Chains A and B, each alone.
Chain A
């Protein structure tokens, strides 16, 4: 009896230690914590990217950002204003509940709530109809060729679970009602949250019942927010974590030179660009009175020619930027190679300025954030000095993003002459850029929300409307090309570059870096 017991204990110990030997814990640190576990509460890349490991949408994007089936196996446009989604059968939520059409309709209703920051995902949808348990129709007001483009981060929640726990709406800030879903999760995704200490650490374990075949070999994931750049890099160098991002540009060398660590760099989708006030009749902070030099296309071209983008790339971005010619990442628009930047040419710039009536240039002010984009303030400093060399003398005002964005917004009085911004189209589609950055602003700001140049061209507006409803890809691309051609020729904005992503990791970690800076653990392998 006793022998049998000992044998059993030994066997158990062997199994247990075997388990330990195979355990692959992956530790990583990011700048901040995920702001909430509620998938509909906060429209922020990092939070949604993190939750993408726990929750899933109807569609999914692979490591190259191409669409692939998610909780829907296929979808089709049955009528111009009716999209049909066929749901994957046999999918279970983490608590064991089945996923079906009712959950999709519930998630749609929940996202429509005014406290759901993700309302944009379902805007323009008039109704969602259950065809059968595993087929759902989305009815739209107008034809919408890109209805599902942002649905990889529109996550499905369990109706029964949400109702049972009082989580049918996201947290209501004004009424002070907190949602259960902000601290608890029940997704269908590859990982389940095992432990959550806000701002300290979040522990995830693989979902054993995941419908997809895991490509990872992890048994546990520990996420820690590490706010300070230096501390985050130190944590990687000292081996306390296996991966961190972002790695500041100036630390990349250090991480690469260190034994056992390296930095994975790749272009991000965000386009950094300059906007110029061309709507006011008199330029602010300028010695030019009674008119606005930026209204003259030659002045805008002169600015463009004055900027030495290669110097910015080399000196400030340390090689980690891709100069861009249009307002969208080349990765996201097939016809992008037809566009080229205006060359760096100082004498040409001076010539253009003289032609426009400013042989001696003029003075104004440049506005810039200093904690938003990679080396944003340094880029602005460089641009100020480059412009000064052709006669445009501007004083630089660089300030934290919270102040900067408030001041340059229409509500803050559009307080700028020209400045720097970055934009990533949430849908990864050109229409978003045309609509938000290049179309004429409407008084209610439904359109042209970030068209701080105040650029206005009737044909571009018309094209934006057409592109919004054109479902034929070839025709649509041609329309997009035309819109970018017009706005580029008229220098509506000056695109600068796509900044690079920098993920630091230990050499025994294999992962896939997505250009949208979302991190999926189901591609991670620990060797």
Chain B
């Protein structure tokens, strides 16, 4: 077990290194950060001096080496645009992103579960078909457009919900900010969380439906029915329970997706999270912010995958055989 985890950890570090190298290399093609940092009539000599001082003239391999060394100590330097430590910037914005992602995951899951079960059990009803058609729309309309539509409907026309921002936030001990305990904060999260969660909702709903259909065909359901158990006991006690195992795994992974792909939603709703920070960083060629964000997101995925792998290892005894080298 320990050897397996160690091996997986080593692999994870390698993955992180490759991801950062690729990211680092791609940034070469984004444009010149100096242009975004100085005034339009700044003389050439001064631009050159700034480039030199920032180490932008060093060979890429040296810059990458420096970056990795510093990143290992959680030092991502100062943002070119904000002139603040990148770590502070990310930490300041992380609560907003995590809150948004969690709430949208909850919304998605709470709606997807009943809808999935319903469409699985009663797949010939017109209401099921309507739900499936609706979910198809949810998948095909781009997030950006859904966000704008929501804003026009609920903020401009109806005036029920705010069109941008996070509302009032409270600062909890430890510096974590939350909008979940204020009225304006709760109102502000509804539209972006729904927008962000829509795709996940559709996905989970369809997954649950497919799994339900699958499970309902199996022998033990037939036997359960034959034993005269109530529909309720069969559908929820037996079928749904067995459906949920893969669904939970997928939902876990989707949470990572939600955090990573909150970028567009954050940008539409002016949500002060990490995604928007990243988007702005791209526009302004703010290299330190971009690198740090990418490293962080890949770290998140690597950790989630590591946990999933370890869980599988624990759950599935077949995996362990190989670990012992077939010594029995």
Contact = CB atoms under 8 A, between A and B. Distances in A.
A466 interface: no
B127 interface: no
Interface stretch (B3-11, B115-123, B148-156, B239-247): B148-156
A234 B156 contact: yes
Interface stretch (B79-87, B129-137, B253-261, B306-314): B79-87
What interface size band does chain A fall in? 35 or more
Given A226-B270, A231-B151, A403-B30, A239 B159 contact: yes
B31 A402 contact: yes
Contacts, number: 160
Contact of A432 (B41, B46, B83, B285): B41
Contact of B35 (A170, A238, A409): A409
A256 to B, nearest CB: 15
Classify the interface of chain A: helix, strand, loop or mixed.
Answer: loop
B65 to A, nearest CB: 17
Interface string B26-57: 00011111011111111111110100011100
Contacts of A119: 46
B78 interface: yes
Contacts of B46: 119
Interface in A387-404: 400-404
A35 B82 contact: yes
A375 interface: no
A402 B83 contact: no
Contacts of A178: 78, 83-85
A76 B54 CA distance: 41
B54 A228 contact: no
B36 A402 contact: yes
A174 interface: yes
A117 B85 contact: no
Contact of A120 (B39, B55, B163): B39
B83 A231 contact: no
B280 interface: yes
B28 to A, nearest CB: 11
A38 B42 contact: no
B44 A449 contact: yes
Contacts of B280: 32, 227
Contacts of B32: 402, 405-406, 409, 411-412
Give the one of B32, B47, B89, B166 with max A CB within 10 A: B32
B274 to A, nearest CB: 11
B99 to A, nearest CB: 14
A399 B261 CA distance: 24
A180 to B, nearest CB: 12
Give the one of A118, A119, A235, A444 with max B CB within 10 A: A235
Contacts of B42: 43, 117, 120
B185 interface: no
A225 B270 contact: yes
A485 B85 CA distance: 50
A44 B82 CA distance: 13
A43 B38 contact: yes
Interface in B152-185: 152, 155-156, 159, 162-166
Interface in A181-217: 182-183, 197-201
B39 A231 contact: no
B112 interface: no
Contacts of A409: 32, 35
A232 B280 CA distance: 16
Given A228-B268, A446-B43, A405 B35 contact: yes
Contacts of A35: 81-83
Interface in A239-270: 239-240
14 contacts: A29-B164, A35-B81, A41-B83, A118-B39, A201-B165, A227-B279, A238-B155, A240-B162, A400-B31, A402-B32, A409-B35, A444-B45, A446-B44, A449-B44
Top 8 nearest A-B pairs by Cβ distance?
Answer: A402-B31, A43-B39, A445-B44, A406-B32, A174-B53, A171-B83, A403-B31, A234-B163
